[in-house]
Structure 1
Amino acid sequence: MNSLTTDHTRTENITTIIRPPYFYISGFTGISNMEYYYVFLCFVYIISLVGNTFVMVVIYMDGCLHSPKYIAVFNLAFTDVCESTALVPKLLDMFLFSRQFISYDQCLSNLFFVFIFLTMQSFNLTILSYDRLVAICFPLRYHMLVTHRSMYQLTGSAWVLALLMVLISVGLITRLSFCRSVVINSYFCDHGPLFRLAAPCSDVLPNLVMSYLNPFLVLYTPMVFIVVSYVCITHSLFTITLPQDRQRAIKTCTSHLILVAIFYLPINITYLLFSFMPTNMRIINLSLTSVLPPMLNPIIYVLKTEEFKVSAKKLLKRVAQRDVGPVIKT
């Protein structure tokens, strides 16, 4: 009798985790002429890929750009390529060819890669802000504080932190049971809509905590640091006596400020108005905030950074001469 009771207790204590074979990404439902939006996303992806690859090639090929600052710029371009590739091709495949069913493992992989590269975008902008802060507020100590070693340490630490945060978020998903709906109301395997599907069947409190902790660490903390750094930079600009030096300092910050505005403003506006937005509008806004910054970042650096423009022109001239040379000889 005791053995039967023990076996029954053990059976009750066993928790069965229900993992569906697939999820359904609902995406953009009930919107007419969405094929034009997908063509637009395809165009954005191609520009992102070409532009960021060009930035990485120029930085790699020109020794003049092998400075600590351009380690962060290279890392931002690499992150932009990876984030666009993790998100856009799968999005186009799902919605252009009606392949909105995604397996459980593929969904977690999609969540992992999209989130880690989005996180690194924010961290890279913070590192660039630190570079500008030291360059303008502590110019005499810049080469001591911002070295190749310190920049590698900063970017390496950012990657480790991003990896840990995303691994924890994905790991917490694997403990959930999905016993009811498998429809994810988003354009990819988004963390919030995904774990909320398991709310009737599992304890999602740890996932809910991570859903608040992640934006705090990824968006708001970096944003506060960037705002404080530019308050300090603005104060330092007023202490610069020579107008040409002040103008040069302002130019070095302009491109970074534009990148910051493009990345942080749309996503924060979307989150602030989250409750008032229709589902489709929210999904389109979030998709735009995910795909537009990787496209615009290299364009802004090419147009706004004089040092990079000089290096890019030198590289293009060298390539043109290499191509034209054999034609002239013949």
Structure 2
Amino acid sequence: MNEDFAENGNISIPSYFYISGFSGIPHIRYYYIFLFFVYIISLLGNSYLMLVIIIDRTLHTPKYIAVFNLSLTDICESTAVISQLLDTFLFGNQLIPYGLCLCNMFSVFLFFAMQSLTLTILSFDRLVAICLPLRYHMIVSHRSILVIIGASWTLALLLAIIGAIFMSRLSFCRVIVTVNSFYCDHGPIYRSACNNNFPSTVIANLFPAVIIGLPVFFIIFSYTCIAVTLFRITTPQDRQRATKTCTAHLILVAIFYVPITFTYTFWSFINTNTRIINLSLTSVLPPMLNPIIYTFMTEEFMVSVKRLLKRRLIFPSRK
């Protein structure tokens, strides 16, 4: 490559980033095919979940508005990750232009942040439903949940814009910058800069605290309050019913936060390929599992699906 740096003031911008991805792993193309099928299942499952919520008016509740938002962000996040990954590795396009790389980083961060914030919103819904059941409809209304979701999108969008702005202020000393990840990952990119990357370092430590740390803290606090409330419930049937409403959400929380928290906590001690594979699975498996878990572990959603199937609104019979 004989590409020269583009000059933007005193900042040297490389024409391309080289996404190294999964180096040294045999038969890695089969893993890409696996990720593609996971993406298809995720796309179909979340689209089906959204369709059922739209059609069945009994699901037009604040909780399922948040579930709808989670499915939407799942589709967007997995599309941002998988489409770029397949184009990069399956078709051999590992050189990504500077502008496209920034767009990819922005999109992945935005939708990842929204996944985390939406799971937090769902934990708030469960907290109020179990701990303050008599005030639930007053606190968690359609208007309030839409305001909370809108504020979450605004926060995620603001953080993604700030990250992209500070990334655009980095200067690089190489014609082609190698990124040790499967997408335009913020961490490996800012560490490759040759000018002062202190602002990006602050962002790299602050953003996970805002997007992962605070939601995890709030979810732990919520379920601590829920556990205390459940101990006060004297009727076993009521306790079991309340526990079942939280099971699906707790599984989603564990699937989403445990791997990503482990990766960001011990990233310096983890092999590069192990970290990249863990991040890739964390990006694609939760969006695939979310609709499956909600379909088979949420009684009210199963009732809606059965009712719609009986009315033949989703699968009309062929004559």
The TM-score range, normalised by the shorter chain, is over 0.9
Secondary structure of the residue aligned to 1:70 is helix
Structure 1 residue 314 corresponds to structure 2 residue 307: yes
- Write out aligned runs for 1:114-133 (5 A): 114-133=108-127
Secondary structure of the residue aligned to 1:182 is strand
TM-score computed with the length of structure 1 as normaliser? 0.92
Structure 1 residue 189 corresponds to structure 2 residue 220: no
Quick one: distance in 2 between partners of 1:31 and 1:173?
A: 30
Quick one: distance in 2 between partners of 1:108 and 1:187?
A: 14
Q: How many residues align?
A: 311
- Write out aligned runs for 1:200-219 (5 A): 200=194, 202-219=195-212
List alignment gaps of at least 5 residues for structure 2: 1-7
* Structure 1 residues 151-180: Cα deviation after superposition (integer angstroms, max 9, x where no partner): 001000000000001100000011111122
1:141 to 124, 135, 139: 135
The structural deviation recorded for 1:125 is 0.4
* Structure 1 residues 47-78: Cα deviation after superposition (integer angstroms, max 9, x where no partner): 10000001100000000000111110000000
* Structure 1 residues 158-205: Cα deviation after superposition (integer angstroms, max 9, x where no partner): 00000001100000011111122511110000011111111x2x1111
Quick one: distance in 2 between partners of 1:43 and 1:292?
A: 11
Secondary structure of the residue aligned to 1:18 is strand
2:221 to 211, 225, 228: 228
Secondary structure of the residue aligned to 2:11 is coil
TM-score computed with the length of structure 2 as normaliser? 0.95
Structure 2 CA distance for partners of 1:321 and 1:205, relative to 1, 3 Å: closer
* Structure 1 residues 264-306: Cα deviation after superposition (integer angstroms, max 9, x where no partner): 0011112233222111111111111111100011100001000
- Structure in which a larger fraction of residues adopt helix: 1
Quick one: distance in 2 between partners of 1:319 and 1:89?
A: 34
What is the match of residue 52 of structure 1?
46
Quick one: distance in 2 between partners of 1:214 and 1:220?
A: 9
Quick one: distance in 2 between partners of 1:279 and 1:82?
A: 26
Structure 2 CA distance for partners of 1:322 and 1:305, relative to 1, 3 Å: closer
Contact 2:12 2:171 in 1 (8 A): yes
Residue identity matched to 1:184: V
What is the match of residue 4 of structure 2?
none
Residue identity matched to 1:261: A
Moved more, 57-66 or 267-276: 267-276
List alignment gaps of at least 5 residues for structure 1: 1-13
Secondary structure of the residue aligned to 1:265 is helix
Secondary structure of the residue aligned to 2:96 is strand
% same residue:
59
Quick one: distance in 2 between partners of 1:168 and 1:237?
A: 42
1:43 to 33, 37, 44: 37
What is the match of residue 236 of structure 2?
243
What is the match of residue 155 of structure 2?
161
The structural deviation recorded for 1:15 is 4.6
- The structure with more radius of gyration: 1
RMSD, aligned α-carbons: 1.4
1:102 to 90, 96, 99: 96
Quick one: distance in 1 between partners of 2:149 and 2:314?
A: 36
Quick one: distance in 2 between partners of 1:276 and 1:33?
A: 25
